[in-house]
Every structure is written in C-alpha cells, then in structure tokens.
Amino acid sequence: MNIIVKNISKTFGTFKALDNINFELPQNQLIALLGPSGSGKTTLLRIMAGLEEPDVDVTIKTNNHHQQVSFNGINILNQPPGKRQIGFVFQHFALFRHMSVFDNIAFGLQVKPKKLRPSKDEIKKKVNELLQLIKLENMSNRYPSTLSGGQRQRVALARALAIEPQILLLDEPFGSLDAKVRTEMRRWLRNLHDALKITGILVTHDQEEALEVADTVIIMNQGKIEQIGTPNQVFHSPASEFVMRFLGEVNVFQERIMVRPHELGIHLSPDPDPVNTTNSLISARITKILTAGPFVKIELLDNNEQLIKVHMSHEEYRSSNYKPNANVYVSVSCNLQNSNSNSSYH
Amino acid sequence: MVKKFKEFSAIPGFSLTLGISLMYLCLLVFLPLAALTIKASEIGIDGFIQEVLDARVLTSFKLTFGCSLLAAIINTIFGTIVAWFLVRIRIPLLIKKFLDSIIDLPLALPTAVSGMALTTLYTESGWIGKFLKDTFNMKVAFTPLGIVVAMIFIGIPFVVRTVGPVLSSIEDELEEAALSLGANRWQIFIKIIAPTIFPSVITGFTLAFARALGEYGTVIFIAGNMPMKTEIAALLIYTKLEQFNFVSATAIAMTMLLFSFILLLIINLFQSWVSKRAMGTQGDS
Amino acid sequence: MIHKNPPINSVNIINVINVIISIIAIAFLFIFLILPLAIILIEGFNSGLSIWWDSIKNEETLSALYLTLIVAVIVVPINLIFGVLVSWSLTKFKFKGRNLIITLIDLPFAISPTISGLMYVLLFGIYGWFGPLLIKYNFKIIYAIPGIILVTLFVTLPFIARELIPLMTEQGTEEELAAISLGANGWQTFWKITLPNIKLGLLCGIILCIARTIGEFGAVSVVSGHIRGATNTLPLQVEILYNEYNFSAAFAISSLFVAVAILTLIFKHIINYEYNRKKY
C-alpha cells in the first residue's frame, strides 16, 4: 500500500527532463518535490497525473510492470487522467472562469457518467461540506475573478478534493501568492492534510516551504533524484553537494569542506577554548553586520579575500563586541563537529 | 531520438478534428487550387507568355497594378492619419466609437452595393462628381481615377486596423521617459513613434495593395469597363470565362495569383524579420 | 498621456497639429465612408416608402432573397463547424505543419473573387475535371445552386477560424486539462469549458461570416449564370437592377444590406468592447 514510481524518463526534443526516476514511499504522507526550475519536478507531477506521458522504452514494452506509476498496487500509467482518481491543483489554479465557485467545485461530480453521478442534492451537500472545509461558505455564488489569490487556491483545492481522489497533486501551490498569504496557506494546507490524511505530493522550488510542510522531501536536480528523506535528514545529512547548497547558505573551505553559516563561531582571540584546538582557526576581518532579522548575519573576508558568512543568535551577538573591520578568528562550533563530517565532500 | 509529429496531450480529439479539417481544406481549397495550377501548366510556357503579353491583357495588368499601387499609397498616408486620430486625439467617446466602427464598413457591405454607391457619388451628376467637374473639370467615374477611388474605399480598414493597435500599444511611460530625458515632441515622433509603427505601416500598405489587386465588385461599377482603357484584370478573367476562353482566363489568374503570393510571402518574411530584430535589440522581457 | 504638462510654448503648435490631423481624418472618413453610406439610404428611400416596399416585394427580388438565405443557412453552419474543429486542432495541440494549415485557411482572403470562381469552373464546369462525370449523372454544379454554395463556402471559410485561433491560443489549455483531470470526457470539456470561453469570439465570427455570405458578389457572379428567379442571389439582383437603370429598386435592396452591415458593425464593436473589458 504505497506509491511506486519506476523507470520514468522524459525527453523534450534533446532536453532530458527526467532521467530514470525511481522511488517508493508509504501513503498518507505529504511529500514535497523540491528542486530548482528545470529540475523536472513539474514534469514528474504531470506524468503522475497523466497530463504528460513518459518516454516509452521499446525494449521493455513486453513487461508492463517495468515502468510504473502505481498507487495502492495499481499501475495507473496507462489510464487516462480522469480515471486515475487523482486530484490535480494547477499552478495558476485553472479555475473555470465562467463558473461560480459552487459550479467549479461541483464540476468533477457533474461530469461523472450518469450511473455513477450523485443526485443533485448529494452534489449540493458535498460541495457545501467542501465550502465549509475551505471556509468559503458565503462565496459559493462568486466568480473566480472576484476572489483573492488565497481564496482561488482554496477553491482549486476543494475542486480537486470533490472527486475524492486517492492522491492529491499540487503544482507550485503557493507560487502565485504573495509572501504573507503564502505562509498562512502553508499552515492551512498542513492542517488540512493532518485532518484528511490524504496522500499529497506538492512541487516547490522553495526549500523553506518544503522543509516546513512536508513529511518527506524528494530533492531533484537536472532530471534526477538527489535525495529522499525527512526534512531533518535532508537538511542535516545532505547526500550531495547539490542538496547541501540548495537547502541553505554554505561556506566552502579548502575547496571541499562545506559548513553552514550557523555552524561557525567567531572569537576575538586565537585560543578561546582548549577543546577546540584540534580545529584550526581562520583569521578574518568583519566586513558587514546585519542585525535586522531573526538572527544576526555577519560577513567576513579571510586572508585570501574569500567571503565567509556566519549566523548567530542576537543573544550571542550582544554578549560579544564585534565591530566592522575588526580582526577576528572563525571556528567550527564544537557541538556540531560530528554532523559536519557528513557535509564534507571531495 | 526522432522528433515526433505531435507532442503528447491529455486533451482528446486531435485526429478527429484535424482529420475533418484537413479533408475540408483539401476539398475546398487545395483541389481548386490544384485544378488552376494544372490547367496553367497545360498551357505551356510559350502559350502562357503569349497570353499574358496580349495587348489587352497587358493593358489591364498595367491598369490594375498602377491603380492598386496609387490607392495603397493614398490609403497608407490617410489610414495612418486616421489611426493616429482615433488612438491619440481626445474626441467625444460617442463620435470616436462611431468613427471607429465605421472603419470596417467596406468589409461589412457587399462589394456590389459599395460599387453602386461610389458610382452614384462620382458620376458627373453625383454629389462629388458634380463638384469636381465644376471646380476642377475633372472626371472620376468611368476613368482610371474612379478605379482608384473604389480601391481606396475597400482598402481603408487594412491600414487603420494594422497601425491602430501598434500606435495604442506604445507605452506612455516610454514617451514620458523620452520627455524626461529632454527630447522634444518632434524628436519623440521621429525616434520613438515612427520606428515603432513603421513595420505596421508597411504591412498595412501591402495588405491594402493585395486587396486592391484582386478587387472586383466595387471596381466594375465605377470603372466603365472599356477594353484597353478601364478594364481591370479581375474583370478580364470574368470576360474570358464568359467567352469560354479558359486558357486565357487561367493564364491571367495564375499571374495575379503568383503576384499575390509573392506579396504575402514578402509580408511574412518582413514580419518575421521585424520580430527577430525586435527580439535581438530588446532582449527577453 | 503625452498631453500632460507640456512646455507652454509647444502647446499651441501641438494643438494646431492635432486640429489639422483631426480635420484630415474626419474629411477622409466623411468622403470615403459616410457619404457612400448616406447616398445608399437617400437613393433607397427618396421615392417614398411605398416604392421602397414595392421594390422589395418584387417577385424576382424575393426569390433572390430566398436563395441568398438558403445559401446562408447551408454555408454558415458548415463553416462554423469547420472553424471550431480546425481551431481546436490548431490551438489545443502542438504538431508539425500548423503554419501550413493556417496559410491554407488564409488563402481565400488573398485570392481575387473572380479567380475563386474560375477555379471552381475549372473543377466542375462542363469542360472541367469533373465535367464529364457530372454530365453523365446529370448533376449541375456550375450555373446552379451547388456552385453558388461551394464558392461561398470557399470565400467565407477563414472568417470563424480566424476569430477563434488567436482567442483560443491566448486562453491556452489549462482549463481543459483541469476538466479532464476531474474526469470530464472530450465532449464535456468542449461544451462546458471551451465553448463558454470562446462564445463572444464565435459570435463575432458567425456575424462576419453571415455578412460576407449574403453579400458575396464576384465569385458567385462567375458561377451563378445569372438565371433570373433561379440562380440569382440578392447582390446579383442589385447589379441587374442597376444595369437596367432601375436605381430606386437597386438602392432599396442596398438599404437592406446597409442595415445588415450596420448591425454587423455594432455587434462587432460590442463584442470587441466586451472582450477588452473582460481582459483587463
């Protein structure tokens, strides 16, 4: 009982959008497909929804289980989009502009074949439930053009949920919303997921969003999967330099050791703590201090004029007396020594 | 990998809609065109040249091309002025709406009706014809000048409708920027507006020219249709057909058709050249 | 606007230029568009309403009107279906040769009416490709109603497709894909999603197509044979009356065409206005 994606590739002309994607994940999770633009994440989502078709490998055509997008053990790859029991939320919502909110949400039920179609009253009941769920009970007669971005987003979601999909696919669901609405919608989606327990896959290029909202993060780059793991795993134990760089700012030392800014400490004297002596200190000059924000950002230049970024708490900043142009020493904090071994690459 | 003929789409109906459309286009457009081309090729090059160089045919070609060219030039000048007037000059909204709508009149009125109306206006007893006769001793109806008048009439929408949208799409910001940089209005016109609308003016001219070349209904009423004097090519095709002279009709038609295609080809090449140049200088936006 | 805060000394020059442009533009439109329109209505009605009415209800005129309407009833729906089908295939799918098809659709715009007529004579006339076959089965196309219908189909072929293609290209395929992912079939997607979105453009195309269908003169003139009471369409009837110096009757019928043309222009204006209003 899980999601299986097996041997999926996609080429557009000469561009390889997806290069043999394979993964298997348990259901009822919220999964984030994270990657820069052009990494193939949206293409993968569209292939799962049936809006795009994967390259067909002629040599394996005899075995129809070789290439799959399966859910609950059923390979849906050869089914048309409407039969896949998938709810797809489009990046720009793709609401039907000539239909009211009510009709938009009811659409999936109204187009069912006569035998399977619920009665008018049942449809009405179902749509009203969904309107309650998305907290837009009073807007059922409004048209999409009169709704705000966040409201459109919720209508698009309700429309996809109306057909009771087994899996919900969301393409950059917060991409076209402004910053404040984005964070609100993120929390709302997470709560909705916890309440409905529906399997969801969302595509995003925003690492903060992926780490905050998802149970599992799939990080993609250039058509390949770089890493699959929980937000904690991918952030603290990145499997590749790409993942390390993509999930946050990094400092690179000796062209191979990568350390995140918050893992570095600043000392006014070369020998602050005897425990740390195994780690060589780097002498550097402070060039810029930014104190506006949740933590303090300090930029320094070492003797080779290479930029070093250090993040620390306001508390720590206040307890010391760092000034621009001061000469200081940068060290790796001792309590993070162990996990750092994971983030060094050749 | 071999590029596919069609990209995948989850939307159904491709083969059905394209199939029926292609069949329809084949029957209605391709087949008649083939008939004309094959008929023309049966004549042979010598026969073809002989038909086209016939004095009456040659005169009608000269007349048609000359009048069309003159009408297209007049339309280009006045059409651009009208487009400027409709887009840039503040006039009461109702008048603007009326004048803007009436631009398309030549496309909405049957050509025979417009031809009759113009003839009535320009004969020696007509409103305009009488005025021109009395003041300038000028004859318009039943002379080549009448043909030009008819061709101006049917070509009006083409220049106005190609220049107008371009003129209204020039952003105020662009001009304000130029003003703030110290340009005067004449410089703004020469350096900003004129280069922007120039491609659409040329396109409008070509469309009006092409339309005038093929026009039949409007012209035959006002032209007088005297062989060797006021007989246009489209009418000559008709006359040859009535005499069952298919060879001659086909030769004239094929020449006209080739010329129209060359004109269309020139517009397309010109437009793709302009858009490529615009992409090159402005970068991606 | 560029009229905002101009330097004081340039105001007068700008105003003078604006006035000159306005005068030239209005004079041009007046002479070439408004006067022709006025003369039709004046000539049509100047002998009085009863003469106007007599000219309309003349037997030959009525039979020409009847034929014109029959042609329109056949031609417009066929080109409507074609326009919708070809626009669907060209805008909802990406495939090779799209531009070639668009060129083919545009061709009737570029071909002179008499050449259009000639092409059909070369195909279906007694000396044409299918001439012997048609004689054998005793079926007449040229100098008969089928020929009129065929050339009118040809001449008005681009109108609806040309309105729909840009509109549907701009609207893209997202809404259709959404409908399909929600389980709608192609037919439901077309009727419930695509059609409501293109209805204004479609209406505009239909109106232009009707106006051109009932007004087509040159091409129909070549293939009709001008048989009075049988193969005369209304524009041909106008010509005949005019050539017989029956001006008041010719202009009376023309006034009907003016009414249709004005309706067409008003519709077109309203539709364009609606479309722009929805867009912004």
Of A11, A13, A50, the CB nearest to B10: A50
Please list every residue in chain B whose beta carbon sits closer than 8 Å to the beta carbon of residue C116. Answer: 32
Determine which of A10-19, A268-277, B238-247, C271-280 has the lowest per-residue pLDDT on average. Answer: A268-277
Q: What is the pLDDT of residues C155-196, one digit of tens each?
A: 999 999 999 999 999 889 999 999 999 999 999 999 999 999
- Mutation site for A-interface testing, chosen from B7, B8, B14 by largest number of A Cβ within 10 Å: B8
Region B203-220: mean pLDDT is: 94
Output the pLDDT for position C114: 95
Cβ atoms B240, B249 nearer than 8 A: yes
Q: Are B10 and A80 inside 8 Å of each other by CB?
A: yes
By the CB < 8 Å criterion, does C73 face chain B?
no
Please list every residue in chain C whose beta carbon sits closer than 8 Å to the beta carbon of residue B120. Answer: 39, 43, 247
Query: What is the rounded average pLDDT for all residues in chain A?
Result: 86
Whether the pLDDT of residue B68 is over 70: the answer is yes
Residues within 8 A of C (CB atoms), B 69-128 only: 78, 81-82, 84-86, 89-91, 97, 99-114, 116-118, 120-121, 126-128
Whether the pLDDT of residue A111 is over 80: the answer is yes
Region A128-155: mean pLDDT is: 93
Output the pLDDT for position B269: 85
Residue with tokens 């030959």: C60
Please list every residue in chain C whose beta carbon sits closer than 8 Å to the beta carbon of residue A111. Answer: 179, 182-185, 188, 192
Whether the pLDDT of residue C104 is over 80: the answer is yes
**C26 CB-near residues (< 8 Å, 6+ apart):** B85, B99
Q: Are C175 and A94 inside 8 Å of each other by CB?
A: yes
Output the pLDDT for position A89: 94
Domain boundaries along the sequence of chain B: 8-42, 54-284
How do beta strands A74-75 and A68-71 pair? antiparallel
Determine the Cα–Cα distance for residues A192 and A171; give it in Å rounded to an integer.
17
Output the pLDDT for position A274: 53
- Residue with more model confidence, B194 or A1: B194
Output the pLDDT for position A61: 55
Q: What is the pLDDT of residues A78-108, one digit of tens each?
A: 889 988 989 999 999 999 999 999 999 999 9
Output the pLDDT for position C273: 78
Name all chains with 3 or more CB-CB pairs below 8 Å to chain B. A, C
- Closest-CA distance of chain B to residue A118, Å: 25
- Residue B285: pLDDT band (50, 70, 90) is very low
Which residue is closest to B21 within chain C, CA to CA?
C86
Whether the pLDDT of residue A305 is over 70: the answer is yes
Please list every residue in chain C whose beta carbon sits closer than 8 Å to the beta carbon of residue B11. Answer: 92-93, 173, 176-177, 180, 186, 189
Of B1, B3, B10, the CB nearest to A81: B10
Of A13, A14, A51, the CB nearest to B10: A51
The encoded tokens of residue A237 equal: 């134990």
- Closest-CA distance of chain C to residue B92, Å: 12
Output the pLDDT for position A39: 92
Determine which of B178-182, C221-225, C233-237, C241-245 has the lowest per-residue pLDDT on average. Answer: B178-182
CA A303 to chain centre: 38
Region C264-271: mean pLDDT is: 89
Query: What is the rounded average pLDDT for all residues in chain C?
Result: 90
Output the pLDDT for position A334: 47
CA distances to A140, A180, C43, C181 from A202, in Å: 26, 19, 71, 16
Whether the pLDDT of residue A235 is over 60: the answer is yes
% pLDDT > 70, chain A: 90
Whether the pLDDT of residue B281 is over 70: the answer is no
Of C175, C184, C196, the CB nearest to A111: C184
Output the pLDDT for position A336: 44
Output the pLDDT for position C70: 96
Name the CATH superfamily for B54-284.
Answer: MetI-like (1.10.3720.10)
Q: Are C182 and A111 inside 8 Å of each other by CB?
A: yes
Put the strands of the sheet holding A167-171 in their side by side order.
Answer: A86-89, A167-171, A199-204, A30-34, A216-221, A224-229
By the CB < 8 Å criterion, does A111 face chain C?
yes
Whether the pLDDT of residue A178 is over 90: the answer is no
Name all chains with 3 or more CB-CB pairs below 8 Å to chain A. B, C
> In A, what residues contact B, Cβ < 8 A?
11, 13-14, 50-53, 80-81
Nearest alpha-carbon partner for A87 in A53, A42, A48: A48
The encoded tokens of residue A214 equal: 């998802």
Q: Are A13 and B8 inside 8 Å of each other by CB?
A: no
Whether the pLDDT of residue B157 is over 90: the answer is yes
- Residue B266: pLDDT band (50, 70, 90) is confident
Which residue is closest to A51 within chain B, CA to CA?
B10
By the CB < 8 Å criterion, does B11 face chain A?
no
- Mutation site for B-interface testing, chosen from A51, A55, A76 by largest number of B Cβ within 10 Å: A51
Give the single-character DSSP code of A344: B
Output the pLDDT for position B282: 47
Give the single-character DSSP code of C173: S
Q: Are A81 and B3 inside 8 Å of each other by CB?
A: no
Of B17, B106, B172, the CB nearest to C1: B172
Nearest alpha-carbon partner for C264 in C181, C207, C193, C184: C207
Residues within 8 A of C (CB atoms), A 302-341 only: none
Output the pLDDT for position A65: 62
- Residue with more model confidence, A95 or B90: A95
Whether the pLDDT of residue C254 is over 80: the answer is yes
pTM: 0.87
Whether the pLDDT of residue A276 is over 60: the answer is no
Region B66-87: mean pLDDT is: 96
Output the pLDDT for position A63: 58
Residues within 8 A of C (CB atoms), A 77-106 only: 80-83, 86-88, 90, 92, 94-98
Output the pLDDT for position A223: 93
DSSP per residue, B123-135: STTSHHHHHHHHH
Q: What is the pLDDT of residues A28-54, one digit of tens each?
A: 899 999 999 889 999 999 999 999 989
% pLDDT > 70, chain C: 95
Give the single-character DSSP code of C95: B
Region C97-111: mean pLDDT is: 89
Which residue is closest to A156 within chain C, CA to CA?
C178
Output the pLDDT for position A338: 42
Region A241-250: mean pLDDT is: 89
Determine the Cα–Cα distance for residues C28 and C12; give it in Å rounded to an integer.
24
